Amino acid sequence: MKYDDLPIFDLRPHQPEINMYRVRLDSASDVYSMVKYIEIKNVFQVMDDSKEQYLIFVADNALLVEVVDGTRMNLRVNNISVEVATIFFNDAISFVPCFKYTDSEDVVMFTSRNFHFHVDNGGQFATDYYGMRHELIESIFSIESYVDLNDDHQFKESKLSALLTESKTVLYFPDYLLQVPNREQLINLMDLALRLRNVPFFILVLFYLRRSSIHLRFEEYENKVQKISGPWKEAILYVLKSKDGDNAHYDSIFEKQFFDLNQHRHLPLGDFIEALCDNFTRYQRFIDGHYQIIPTAKQKAFLKRLICAEECFHFSEVGSGKTKVILPLLCQAFLSNNAEAHKHLARGGRLKDTLIVLVPEHLVTDARTQVYRYCLNLNFREEYRVYDDIFALKHRNVQFRSMHRDYIVKKQIYVTSFNQFKKALTDQDICRKVYPHREHILVVADEVDDFLDRNKLVFNICTNKSNAFERSTLDLFFEVSRAAYSDQGCPHMLVESSSNPIYWKQLYDKFRAIFVEIQDASRSINKSFGIFNEHTLRHCTANISHDIEGYKSLIARPYESVNRAMPGSYYSDVERTVFLTYVILTEDIEKYDDLFQGERKFISYEYWNEHFVHQLDFDDLVYGHEKLSEICEKHPEAKDGLARFLYEIILRRMEIRDKSRSVNSIDIIFNFDCIGFTGTPFLDNYPTADYIRHERNDDIPNMISRDFYAYTSEDLAASEFEQRFATFQGQNSNVLVKYVPSDFIRASTDEMATLEAIFAREEQLGSSNCGAAKAAFNAIVDLCGIFKRSSIHDVCNCIINHFGPDRFHYLYHIDQSDNSDRVLCIKTGNDIQYDEEFYKFLCKTYGADLRDRIFFFVDNRNVIGKDIPFQLIYQKHYGQALFTKSVVIAHDVDDFSKIWQAMGRSRTMNQTEFSIYKSDIPESLQDDDGVAHDIKSLELTRLLYVANCDRKMAGNISSIYLTLIALFNLAQESFYYNDKIVNVFLDKMEDTINGKVSVHEKELVHYVLGNVVPAGILRHIVTDKFKKSSSAVVSQERLDEAKLEMLLRHIVRQKYEQRLPSHDIFDDLLLFLSGEQRSLMEISYTKQHQKQKQKQQNKNQDSDAMGVFDEKHQLSIKLSSKNYFEDSRGGLEDEAKSMLNLPISVPILTLGYTLGGQQRTIDVYPTLQFIYSHHIHQEY
């Protein structure tokens, strides 16, 4: 077993010997402290007799220790040479043992329980004075937020010692500012300070930790035993600003570690921004006599415009430093008391004391890192908080000053994702706090076009329940699915025998439409639906094991429903799920092998006799071990019966909605003052909170500049279009692109075969252009998810197979669990962080040739806004782009915004050539010269760009419907909407949908059109859309009150698929508002089904799986246990388990029988466990 070609274990012996070692490291510097040496345990020795080497794994880094001449050691962290040193950084962080880079003054501090710092106990250091150093971390408690198994947010108090992990902290010369990316690192550093006996270091970390914590509690006494004393108690009292903690000497030390922004209260905004930028440079690495990142004049001007401009959202080119520079500077401006800045940030309303930073889910880690790095060391002694979880608002200790005047916290910053914020606004506890305070809150949205994407507007929070499908309903679903799949025509006899034949006929038409759709768009991405397991969930975020548990029921769900829009998945489109499940059963039955193995024992003799009597032996089928896929391969005629058997099991397990609440992005725009920025500024237009606050009735101002929009209705000349496109490009003014037909992907059945074909095509293009066989590209951006089911190791193997082992040495990718930057070594298979240290190693090893040795793979989850690091540094140093040529797999994606975002993963677009693989390119727009052209001169660019502008402006039926819901919520003074029509498919099946839709229409008419402000907003929104239509009938339409009401009713009926053509102007208006939709059913229209932790019933039929009981049916029992784990190992000690096994005194079944002339009775008593199961209705 090897790591980085270093042999660690010899696995050949029958009983391999594995030895762990301890290594002692002494400081190489002339500076000494109380720490005499560092001892590291759990160390591996490299098995090489020619040299003595040791390998240490710490905080996702590899530390190699090499003994030289038996007297000294060479140390390398990720191949970068370091030495142990004790360094005096400043008065606050002084004499700390750490690792210093041998070629620079930057240092690394590792925290790990495997590191022991030997502290001198002799001389003046009294052991009783410092003797509690190991216990203090046990006496500090923190309130932590977590998500329970019901997906509810809870809080618990934890000892800091229980939260310790390993971490790596880098401090940059010459300022040595303490910068951390998260709270976990602060907790680790606090433990390190305690073990080093370094009181000033402890104080500094505690200042930071308080600012990022919900609540810290210090347990001074336990059972009359004092646990916190000496200098540690003094330090804590000092940080808490207790009367007993005043210390002017400490103030003089720590004040220097914080930037005082409040001294600039009366500074003009331009001068204040200059001061912020001067401070900003001191956070950066210092290389070759200057700081690595210095805000440019353009970035300063953009920040000023962002703060001052009347428009709330702003466009800045892809790669212009919005997240890395603008966002932290904006947060610092908010935390200051600069009068002019806060006057503008008020946005015409009240002064803001709360900032909520919203980013796409995959960018939360990056955004949090930036805010933590730059916002914890400002304004010494000022009480403000930085939270990385919006659900901190649920805790009673987190309040707003407008509601609690004695609340000491003056300002708060929250960093969260779009959907988490929407989810928070469905929580009643949070709504009670936020709604009355909303005018004091400023929302900052990064990638605001994604926030307002018509397909991602809504977030639903649902409670689910088991379905109650009758067998006849399951038979109908199966027969209609089979008929639609095989194009046999609707099974009329069976349908006519149902209680609602019209529904099943419509369902057949819908299934046929879905089938036609997936033959093209979805087949190209290996089915954009499928069974979720640990392989298909590799692209999910956060708790993957929880997701796997939730989806084990093997119900087909759109892959894209997890992360991006999928046709028809709004309102949890059960009908689509039902049909896709049948498709998977038919085309990829192997995925159901495990399910079949667990369920085959339930095949009855009657079912066997009906479906398998001539093909399979009953005992072999029910009790055998042959896999489902093997049976179908040997006996294809039995496949239909097996599919029917599994289909019924799967559908019985499928949960349906019980209750639903929803919040959409428009609700946030209406209720909060917002500002934001994006690199692809195509978005719909809505009134701002200030417009609504002043009850304006004039034209709605543009939320973002539209100078570069180009609509079909304008019919621009080529020169005018290119001028507008150039305005959109900004500094990326010389982008060379070739559109490559990707229709060949549809014929491919294997993801890696597709990748191999792309490699071959690019190699062919490269050789035709350069006269060399060497591939001319080193980056692939998988925009549409072609390689969703392949791991990064599959991609690595494909690269080796095609290019050989020596063409590329490293493969860049993005970690699917935390979105961090990783590099996979192609030779050894090691997967490590792609951080500054490793980048420096690559530069030392390869120099300017680095770009020829690293291949960049960007998956579809990280297309929007993800920064691939070090590109601009590489360009500045070597005068060339790190991405030589980028291949963008757009294929069936027609959204130009997303294509441009995918191209923007190259931060040097002017120096990177692009191949954009696109399907269905008209023959007239294809060119065979193999040469890249200026993107704005290509006719296909214009086609995509104009269609994108039209699409964003028009929206679709769901986006205009959600606008109605947001206006309804506005009239109701609510953030969220309680959905009245929860299960559309059930209402359609039971023929109750029309009545519910009519009630819903009246409700919206009353509250939206019955209030002046919402009615005016709706009229302005739809009128502005109609004016830009390319249809004269639509663009010339003027809406009076009667027509506006009729339009609202038509929109609602169309949304629920209940509208029939009216053969008048409303057909044209609805067609325009439907975007690409061209039918009554929402087949080609997309709406994101937000990923939720579904509480799926995924157990076998003979096990106890249950839904959540209504509170009125619950019996609450509380038990206390000092150590439940130990109790669970015993028998009767486990009271909870014992209770579940106790019988209930009411029989669940009474059986009377006669035996020997005597009447007898058997009573069957249920256990509590049995009552608490899916076999029993909760009402019982």
- What does the pLDDT look like over 128-181, one tens digit per residue? 554 454 578 999 999 999 988 777 899 999 999 999 999 999 999 999 999 999
- Rounded to an integer, what distance in angstroms lies between the CA atom of residue 1067 and that of residue 1086? 20
Alpha carbon of residue 223 to chain centroid: 45
**Which amino acid appears at position 360 of this protein?**
P
- What does the pLDDT look like over 699-729, one tens digit per residue? 999 999 999 999 999 999 999 999 999 999 9
pLDDT band at 553 (very low <50, low <70, confident <90, very high): very low
- What does the pLDDT look like over 928-953, one tens digit per residue? 777 899 999 999 999 999 999 999 99
State whether residue 439 is helix, strand or coil. helix
Give the gyration radius of the chain's Cα atoms. 32
With tokens 């009292």, the residue in question is 237
- The answer to whether residues 480 and 507 touch, using CB atoms and an 8 Å cutoff, is yes
Helix (H) or strand (E) holding 547: helix 544-551
Q: Which residue has the higher pLDDT, 655 or 343?
A: 343
- What does the pLDDT look like over 791-801, one tens digit per residue? 899 999 999 99
Q: What average pLDDT is seen over the chain? A: 86
pLDDT band at 789 (very low <50, low <70, confident <90, very high): confident
- 930: phi > 0 → left, psi -120 to 50 → alpha, else beta; which? left
With tokens 């690394």, the residue in question is 108
Residues in the chain: 1180
- The answer to whether residues 535 and 816 touch, using CB atoms and an 8 Å cutoff, is no
- Rounded to an integer, what distance in angstroms lies between the CA atom of residue 1103 and that of residue 409? 51
pLDDT band at 1104 (very low <50, low <70, confident <90, very high): very low
- Rounded to an integer, what distance in angstroms lies between the CA atom of residue 6 and that of residue 64? 10
Q: Which residue has the higher pLDDT, 1083 or 233?
A: 233
Quote the tokens at residue 578: 């039902």
Quote the tokens at residue 980: 């009245």
Handedness of CA 995, 998, 1000, 1006 (dihedral sign): negative
pLDDT of 14 above 60: yes
Q: Which residue has the higher pLDDT, 12 or 774?
A: 12
pLDDT of 1108 above 80: no
pLDDT of 95 above 70: yes
pTM (predicted TM-score): 0.86
Over range 104-113, report the average pLDDT. 93
State whether residue 675 is helix, strand or coil. strand
With tokens 């959204």, the residue in question is 895
- What does the pLDDT look like over 624-677, one tens digit per residue? 999 999 999 999 999 999 999 999 988 887 777 788 889 999 999 999 999 999
- The answer to whether residues 889 and 917 touch, using CB atoms and an 8 Å cutoff, is yes
- What does the pLDDT look like over 426-480, one tens digit per residue? 999 999 999 999 999 999 999 999 999 988 888 888 777 778 889 999 999 999 9
Supply the pLDDT for residue 121.
Answer: 64
Alpha carbon of residue 555 to chain centroid: 23
Which residues partner with 444 through β-bridges? Answer: 357, 675
- What does the pLDDT look like over 877-898, one tens digit per residue? 999 999 999 999 998 888 999 9
- Rounded to an integer, what distance in angstroms lies between the CA atom of residue 685 and that of residue 1005? 22
- The answer to whether residues 412 and 355 touch, using CB atoms and an 8 Å cutoff, is yes
Supply the pLDDT for residue 1093.
Answer: 28
- The answer to whether residues 559 and 528 touch, using CB atoms and an 8 Å cutoff, is yes
- The answer to whether residues 990 and 500 touch, using CB atoms and an 8 Å cutoff, is yes
Nearest-10 crossing angle of helices 1041-1055, 1012-1027: 80
Quote the tokens at residue 1037: 């339409």
- The answer to whether residues 666 and 963 touch, using CB atoms and an 8 Å cutoff, is yes
Which residues partner with 61 through β-bridges? Answer: 58
- The answer to whether residues 277 and 283 touch, using CB atoms and an 8 Å cutoff, is no
- Residue ranges of alpha helices (H) inside 255-363 are 269-281, 297-308, 327-335, 339-345
- Rounded to an integer, what distance in angstroms lies between the CA atom of residue 170 and that of residue 176? 9
Q: Which residues of 287-312 are buried (b: 16+ CB within 10 A; e: fewer)?
A: eeeeebbebeeebbebbbebbeeebb
pLDDT band at 1076 (very low <50, low <70, confident <90, very high): low
Over range 1041-1060, report the average pLDDT. 93
- Rounded to an integer, what distance in angstroms lies between the CA atom of residue 58 and that of residue 138? 23
- Name the percent of the chain lying above pLDDT 90: 61
- The answer to whether residues 782 and 860 touch, using CB atoms and an 8 Å cutoff, is yes
CA angle 878–879–880, rounded 5-degree value:
95
State whether residue 1108 is helix, strand or coil. coil
pLDDT band at 497 (very low <50, low <70, confident <90, very high): very high
Q: Give the helix, strand, coil percentages of the chain, each rounded to 5.
A: 45, 20, 40
- Rounded to an integer, what distance in angstroms lies between the CA atom of residue 562 and that of residue 547? 10
- Rounded to an integer, what distance in angstroms lies between the CA atom of residue 741 and that of residue 910? 23
Supply the pLDDT for residue 824.
Answer: 95
- The answer to whether residues 663 and 459 touch, using CB atoms and an 8 Å cutoff, is yes
- Rounded to an integer, what distance in angstroms lies between the CA atom of residue 113 and that of residue 887? 44
- Name the percent of the chain lying above pLDDT 70: 90
pLDDT of 78 above 50: yes
- What does the pLDDT look like over 44-68, one tens digit per residue? 999 988 889 999 999 989 999 999 8
- Largest Cα–Cα distance in the chain? 107
Which residues partner with 356 through β-bridges? Answer: 414, 443
Supply the pLDDT for residue 347.
Answer: 96
pLDDT of 559 above 70: no
Of 694-698, 892-896, 1089-1093, which has the strongest mean pLDDT?
Answer: 694-698
- Rounded to an integer, what distance in angstroms lies between the CA atom of residue 737 and that of residue 925? 13
- Of 772-781, 876-885, 918-927, the least confident: 772-781
- What does the pLDDT look like over 751-770, one tens digit per residue? 899 999 999 999 887 765 55
